[in-house]
Chains A and B, each alone.
Chain A
Amino acid sequence: MSEKKTFKTAARMKEIMQEYYAKGAAAKEKRIPVAWVTAIFPVELLYAAGIFPYYPENFGALASARKVADKLSRYAEAKGYAHDLCGYARCGIGDAYAEEHPVGEILKPDVTFCCNTQCGSLSKWFEVASRFYNVPYFLLDAPQILDQPEELATGYYVDQLKEMIAFLEEITGKPFDYDRLLEVLHLSNETCRLWNEILDTAAMKPAPFGFFDACFHMAPIVTMRGTREAVEYYQALKEEVDERIKEGKYAIPNERFKIYFDHIPLWPKLRWFSELFASHNSLVAVSQYTHSWAYSFDLERPLESLAENYTEEFVNRSFEHRLQLKMNFFRKYGVDGFVLFSNRSCKPTSLGLYDKRSVLSERTGLPGVVFDADMSDLRFFSEAQILARLEPFFEQLASSQ
């Protein structure tokens, strides 16, 4: 991926991720509890409590990007876990039983925290992990928002945050530090603000930054929001993107079309996809996925605000609401077409896409396509099948102008 090399910040990424993993290892030695958490989780509470948060999904994405997901998965499959479960879960469970650790060993938890806003796979996976490692499991239960957000669901979530705080006090043996929480929330706000400012530059034509860049640069927003390092990282990236704008450096050489992409990328084929789109002068500009981390916490009402932000994610919303969100992105980024990835690993982002493809085209007049594959596992990847879907789409795009 050409853009990956040209961002100077990329080198810094490697460093801060290494530092992050080193901190995890050191936490074990210093007896700082290591908590497994999920990507959409009020991690701010853990930082405030001085607990080290570790993201097994990130481990899964890493294994997928390094093309070893199938290898790890086979260890899970040997125990009876099906190859159609979430690829991240298969990597995590597989690694627990594996004799080889091609991306290093997953960090063993002292406790697992799960929020099911995203999916039911995580809660089942974390239940499995809590049994395997014999550690407590704490679920933040986020009922689906049926229509509009309701006090019923957010109130329930706030009650659970209070229960979680009591649980954290038990683990750490210390009273919960609410002042520290406000600091952490402030840092999260800053990180999210910077991240979204960067993402927004993809709306410029031509744009200095696109979805594949976002995939490369997203690890800190997922795993480190709430820390100063994350703020500094995105400050540096933002500066660099601004420089690019001044210098007229763009994400792809001849941007003609902007594409919306749902949702998670095919990690082991990131480069292949980015080159494919670039070769058709198409910039994948936006995806609901990378835009998930767009939190804005109200420091006056921290718990309520955490509850709202973490339960109202797109993935926990209704069919119609999710259509609206997509169309908002279409407008905001001025997209010319959309590509929907029906991802075997991830039912909550994939079920419904078949119908949404036609609805979106009907409502917006834009060309769109849906294809099937798996975000981690190349056993479900067929280049020929995907091209058979995408080539006609690119032709449609070209003829629409």
Chain B
Amino acid sequence: MLVSVYRYNPEIDDAPYMQDIHIDIPGGKDIMVLDLLQLLKDKDPTLGYRRSCREGVCGSDGMNMNGLNGLACITPLSEVVENDKLVLRPLPGLPVIRDLVVDMSQFYKQYEKIKPFLINDTPPPAIERLQSPEERAELDGLYECILCACCSTACPSFWWNPDKFIGPSGLLQAYRFLADSRDTATTERLADLDDPFSVFRCHGIMNCVNVCPKGLNPTKAIGKIRNMLISQAT
């Protein structure tokens, strides 16, 4: 098959380019894209990409495969290869450090803005703050996010305003803390989001839902934040 990989090493290259590599998959098996990258790296050790857990839990190998963002380690070739061809690019919209490795600072900065930790100013109980099973269930579909950035870098609103729009991933986390029964900073959290950019740049395009490798739904969470803002203001 033919693999076309985005290559850029700012120390040597003037501009990024696509490198075409023909490769035979041993035994013609349906391997994961990350395994394919290892085969490519055996051929050309200068190829750079991130990976760690190789089982879809660390979120380090998010990349763009034939136009769709996803985690290379849990994406089988059969899911993305078309006409025996695969185009691999770094996550769109973020600065490239080298080859498939992007600089995630902007993404993390947005995450930091939503204060991703429990805030509670009531005196702590002797053991722990308890939640009922129902209260705990409110966090399902939110806490599973692995911060892989597949969603935010697929979102046009994040491409245009990565410094002002929190992005789907950060907003999913914002709602995770708004929905937590143990958090008492709801009003302050909402006040921080009530501007024309942070939440309201979401136009419901749902690219985020389309690509999330954990099957999460940031658009739904954003809708819930909006509803909280509306009920607070009216």
A binds B: no
A residues with CB within 8 A of B: none
B residues with CB within 8 A of A: none
